Amino acid sequence: MKIDAEFPGGNILVEHIDGNTIDVRQDLRDTGEWWFWWALRVSGAAGRTLTFRFTNGDVFSACGPCASWNAIDWHWLGRTDSPRTSFTVTIPPRVDVAYFSFAPLYTQRHLERFLRELETRIAPGRVERGTLCASEHGRPVELLRVPAKRRNGARTVALIARTHACEVSANFVMEGILSEWLTAQSPGAAWLHENYELVVVPFMDKDGVEEGDQGKARKPHDHNRDFGASPLYASVRALQELLLGCKNRLDFYLDIHAPYLRDGINDTIFFTGQPQPWQTELDKLTALVEDIHDGHLPYHSADTIAHGVDWNKGLAASSAGWVQIACAPKFAGVLEVTYGKAHEVDVTPDGLREFGASLAKAMASYLRG
């Protein structure tokens, strides 16, 4: 039996193996505070029942850990009351490689898989795949563009995710937005496609995503705290340049995150309140999302965390704060997408994609005014 993290998104430190009991902990690396991302691979343990004991806190979502036999399809293992820091699982016979993780993995290979599938449903070349920049470790940071159908006078929508590397839920919502934008037959999708260019950076912290970093609270600061006067990270510098280059046509900017690991507001899908005038615009959008969304994950506009409350104090050095000042689009906001539960309902990638589709419909309605 081998337990490792040598795969995209992998993160584990193995402390001790005693038969079928394995002591592990999440690898915090350069994270400046306690955080909870981990993802491990077990090889050569088909048919065995294993107990994983985590030695640095309760690192499970509201649905417990999740498991996959192919790193694509995941299921939650559920949360047990006692002990709360371990889980026991039987690996099915003939499953030679099993994956266990805090939440379903989403790395470059998952994006490529999604784009391959999407491209079977749309005209060739509708999604222009480019590179925003090279990351610090030499990886291409993907930049996707869907040009508007109209030649002149098109406006721009920009979406980003993973300024915090571990926040996987964001990308499933992003898939839903892209699918709706490009494949839906609805008048709203057609209108968006006609009038708006869509610009997407799926992985702002590409190295962190592929290497399985927490990414949140990275020292000396993380990618979302890098939007100050002299950014450390190439992707932040390149995004600022890109957005400044289109600021006269940028109408809508959304930075998609996932919140803390579970409990309270973290077990919901919520937007973060913004300073005026963006709060007024946010209220218009969230009312539309609540009205339009009929997927199986609940969404309530009342879950918006007000500006100035709790940790939501607003930071000029955050991506949305910087965009508001530097580009002043009509809408600039932050969406937080739960990992495990949305109001008692188990989160699934498909549920998040459904929410993304609803969000795209609401964006069309909002931008049409």
Segment contacting Zn ion (CB under 5 A): 30-38, 56-64, 163-171, 245-253? 163-171
Q: Does position 225 bind Zn ion by CB under 5 A?
A: no
CB-nearer residue toward Zn ion: 34 or 113: 34
> Where would I find the H helices in the chain?
108-119, 169-183, 187-195, 206-211, 234-245, 278-292, 319-326, 349-368
Minimal distance, residue 358 CB to Zn ion, in Å: 21
Minimal distance, residue 206 CB to Zn ion, in Å: 15
Segment contacting Zn ion (CB under 5 A): 18-26, 107-115, 142-150, 249-257? 249-257
Minimal distance, residue 208 CB to Zn ion, in Å: 12
Residue 329, judged by CB atoms within 10 A of its CB (0-12, 13-18, 19+), counts as: buried
Q: Which two tokens stand for residue 66?
A: 């999740």
User: How many Å apart are CA 176 and CA 353, to the nearest integer?
Assistant: 4
CB-nearer residue toward Zn ion: 301 or 312: 312
Segment contacting Zn ion (CB under 5 A): 77-85, 89-97, 255-263, 349-357? 255-263
User: How many Å apart are CA 293 and CA 290, to the nearest integer?
Assistant: 6
Segment contacting Zn ion (CB under 5 A): 99-107, 257-265, 311-319, 348-356? 257-265
User: Which residues in 343-362 contact Zn ion (CB under 5 A)?
Assistant: none
Residue nearest to Zn ion (CB): 257
Q: Which two tokens stand for residue 18?
A: 């005693």
How many residues touch Zn ion under the rule CB under 5 A: the total is 3
Q: Does position 164 bind Zn ion by CB under 5 A?
A: yes
Q: Does position 257 bind Zn ion by CB under 5 A?
A: yes
User: How many Å apart are CA 330 and CA 324, to the nearest integer?
Assistant: 9
Residues 318 and 272 sit within 8 Å (Cβ to Cβ):
no
What secondary structure letter does DSSP report for 367?
Answer: H
Which residues make up the interface to Zn ion (CB under 5 A)?
A: 164, 167, 257
